[in-house]
């Protein structure tokens, strides 16, 4: 999975996922505690990554003169939604989690000034709590092999245990690797909306271990 694809997923959610949510979110509003980081603690490769990330987000959010935002904590991918929601709530925006607990619902602003304010807040929160660089790096062949073993073994069993057995045959490992790990058992399932968060939490599509240290 390429760095550009992952960035597009996040920014696509920002630009398109502006549905209002009436249900009260149960995502904690406090940002998870961690050891703060400062730029002097980061190596050159990470600093370059953060700079590139900032430029890409600013461009896609339409921010002409983005502020220089100091990173507070580099987060894991599965922290992204809850961390961003907490940060944006603290900034005064009523954002909530998506039904599967993996994404974010943004308020459907129509006023250009409010949209601009929201985009600036999104940019600031993304820069304060950026995802670690390893998640934006394409998986190696070894990583894809580990992911294939997980999705065709542990993940299938987990989904079955949760009441969502998959009957479709997975692709061969060769096809899976050649497609950069596109296949997931979730693509063959129709999960009830009130089960989405529970199932995704119990059976993550991608274990953190495939990304390495």
At residue 31, the pLDDT reads: 43
181 Rama class: left (phi>0) / alpha (psi -120 to 50) / beta: left
Which of 60, 89, 82, 95 is closest to 129 using CA atoms?
82
Residue recorded with tokens 């580990």: 146
Q: What is the pLDDT of residue 40?
A: 64
**Which percentage of the chain shows pLDDT scores above 90?**
68
Of 19, 1, 18, which is closest to residue 119 (Cα–Cα)? 18
Q: Which of 24-28, 77-81, 124-128 ranks highest by mean pLDDT?
A: 124-128
- Residue 18 pLDDT level (bands cut at 50, 70, 90): very low
pLDDT at 20 over 50: no
Q: Please say if the pLDDT value at position 93 is more than 60.
A: yes
Q: Which position has the higher pLDDT, 21 or 101?
A: 101
The whole-number average pLDDT for the span 172-200 is 95
Cβ-defined contacts of 178-187 (< 8 Å, 24+): 180/1, 180/2, 180/138, 180/139, 180/144, 181/1, 181/139, 181/144, 181/147, 181/148, 183/151, 184/151, 184/155, 185/151, 185/155, 185/156, 185/159
Q: Mean pLDDT score of the chain, rounded to an integer?
A: 84
* Segment among 3-12, 54-63, 116-125, 167-176 with least mean pLDDT: 3-12
Contact 14, 84 (CB under 8 A): no
With beta carbons less than 8 A apart as the criterion, state whether 76 and 132 touch: yes
Locus of tokens 């497609």: 179
pLDDT of 69 higher than 50: yes
The pTM of the full predicted model, rounded to 2 decimals, is 0.75
Mean of pLDDT values over 195-211: 92
Q: How confident is the model at residue 38 (pLDDT cuts 50, 70, 90)?
A: low
CA separation for the pair 104, 11 (Å, rounded): 11
> Residue 187: what are its φ and ψ, rounded to 5°?
-70, -20
């Amino acid at each position: 999975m390429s760095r550009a694809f992952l960035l597009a997923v996040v920014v696509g959610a920002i630009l398109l996922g502006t549905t209002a949510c009436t249900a009260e979110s149960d995502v904690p509003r406090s940002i998870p505690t961690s050891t703060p980081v400062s730029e002097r603690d980061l190596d050159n490769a990470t600093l370059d990554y953060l700079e590139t990330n900032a430029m890409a987000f600013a461009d896609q959010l339409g921010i002409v003169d983005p502020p220089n935002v100091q990173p507070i904590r580099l987060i894991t991918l599965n922290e992204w939604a809850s961390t961003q929601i907490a940060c944006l709530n603290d900034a005064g925006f009523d954002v909530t989690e998506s039904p599967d607990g993996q994404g974010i619902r943004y308020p459907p602003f129509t006023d250009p000034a409010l949209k601009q304010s929201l985009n600036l807040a999104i940019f600031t929160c993304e820069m304060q709590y950026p995802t670690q660089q390893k998640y934006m790096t394409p998986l190696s062949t070894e990583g894809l092999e580990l992911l294939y073993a997980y999705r065709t073994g542990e993940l299938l069993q987990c989904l079955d245990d949760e009441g969502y057995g998959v009957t479709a045959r997975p692709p061969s490992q060769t096809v899976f690797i050649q497609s950069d790990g596109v296949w997931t058992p979730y693509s063959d399932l129709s999960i009830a909306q009130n089960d989405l968060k529970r199932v995704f939490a119990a059976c993550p599509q991608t274990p953190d271990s495939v990304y390495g240290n």
